Amino acid sequence: METALTITRGHPLPLGVHSFDGGINFAVFSRHATRLWLLLFDDPGALDPKWCFELDPVIHRTGDIWHVYVRGACPGLTYVFQADGPFAPDRGHRFNPRRALLDPYALALVNTEHWDFSILCDSWLEQHPGRSIPKGQYRVKGLIPGKEDFDWNGDRHPKIPWSQTVIYETHVRGLSIHPSSCAHYPGTYLGVIEKIPYFKQLGVTTLELMPIHQFNPKELDRKNPLTGEPLVNYWGYSTVSFFAPHAQYGTGREHGCQLTEFKAMVKALHEAGIEVLLDVVFNHTAEGNECGPTLHFKGLDNSIYYLLPEEDKSRYINYSGCGNTLNCNHPVVRTYILECLRYWVTEMHVDGFRFDLASILGRDRNGRLIPNPPLLEAIAEDPILRGVKLIAEAWDAGGAYQVGFFPGERWSEWNGQYRDDVRRFWRGDHGMLGPFATRLCGSADLYQHSGKTPVNSINFITSHDGFTLNDLVSYEHKHNEANGEDNRDGTNENYSCNYGVEGPTDDPEIEAVRLRQIKNFLTTLFV
């Protein structure tokens, strides 16, 4: 017997999906939409919606929030929105009623391994005039998760003091995917649990996970010029859905398992006394520039969510170097980011965040850096977030460099000056003894003037960006030919040394020097 669903007015808050009284409430922001539809699917793999509800703006709109309560809807259903409104790129509007739009507040996505970004771009419509958008756009959808039944069993944040914090940056898949890891669940959240004895042996107190928000590994339409193999987005610094954990890091045993498996990972790490920090990318999204796909923000309210140049709002300001820049200090976007951070702390129990290209979070709607950015202050002063660690990558691709000057006393910073001075000292550069000593003693030249202390400095020598530690003693120049960007990406100033041969070598003397230098770097970092 077919399930009968009926709709009523619903509630404008909270945003996203929420279950109560035998139904589901849906709420989504769109100021400039004139019509909006909710499409529901009873099969996660379906390409045709089972139900389609058009929302009457007189009944289902409160201010800028569209909302509807669907009686009879239940967890396990999947959904997307469609929105109509002005298509006027020169004014910043990109509405298209034929586009399937993800809920920015979706807690989990399904079928993310089947994404085809090409059909989600406006260029596809230009190249195929008069044709309907393929049903493949409905493949990836938001999942309505089941009722929370995860047993946290008294889980508590380890609350490691900054002065005792040893951070291990890692990638969920890369950590355990190799056969040498002998993991039962390689490349997954559960695989991280299997590495806990290794972390304890190293003395790690805090795990910093590279992006685990849902992204599309297949978003790149490029091939390795050396092998012809398709290139993938491996790091994940191109977020599609900020509330949803990356589905491919789950075991795939059932739709939505990534939610419980992420929680199981956090719980196990906490039981071992290890904190969990997330590397979050609120500076841009996977929607890219005017040639990029429409996934959610572009189709719901492009002019609100992104920084657009006044002289041509059909384009995007690109302080991220990735095509677009989120309008972080707009009240709507600011609220979205705050609610997202609170969710990961209250529901997923993480212990803090490292903010990628954090200087963008301090830019106003015109892209200018402002002295006391509302978003950064709101994050630092938020009652829910007061107890978590906050780390800023205090620069961006728009020329901002705020190491030692990042707004707010609560923020710790990736100390890029420490990285460069330590590299140059061990390379033997002239005049580096003084700067090296300054870095070892807490970088007072950077932090003392603002009342900050050495614990505000996150000291590092290598990270996911640029050279690995082995690269640092093996190459004097970067060699990024394999990624199809003609070696243009990444900095040219790596302050590295190859000690006689560029790249791998069998020369025992060179290998001995390289190993000694690696030990020097590690010893310096742990002083």
Whether omega before 14 lies within 30 degrees of 0, making that bond cis, reads yes
Q: Name the β-bridge partners of 121.
A: 293
Name the residues annotated as catalytic.
356, 393
Q: Could you identify the residue written with the tokens 């004895």? A: 197
Please answer whether residues 147 and 256 qualify as being in contact, where contact means their C-beta atoms are separated by less than 8 angstroms.
no
CB-based contacts of 522, cutoff 8 Å, min separation 6:
469
Q: Please state the three-class secondary structure of 472-504 as a single string.
A: HCCCCCCCCHHHCCCCCCCCCCCCCCCCCCCCC
At residue 371, the 3 state secondary structure works out as: coil
- The dihedral over CA atoms of 80, 84, 89, 90, expressed in degrees to the nearest 10, equals -150
Distance of CA 441 to the CA centre of its chain: 33
What's phi and psi for 269, nearest 5 deg? -65, -40
What's phi and psi for 380, nearest 5 deg? -65, -30
Q: Could you identify the residue written with the tokens 């507040």? A: 105
What's phi and psi for 52, nearest 5 deg? -135, 120
Q: Residue 334 has which token pair?
A: 């600011």
Nearest to 294 by CA among 437, 81, 460, 491: 81
Please answer whether residues 455 and 415 qualify as being in contact, where contact means their C-beta atoms are separated by less than 8 angstroms.
no
Q: What is the residue type of 149?
A: D
Please answer whether residues 281 and 239 qualify as being in contact, where contact means their C-beta atoms are separated by less than 8 angstroms.
yes
Q: What angle do CA 354, 359, 360 make, to 5 degrees?
A: 100
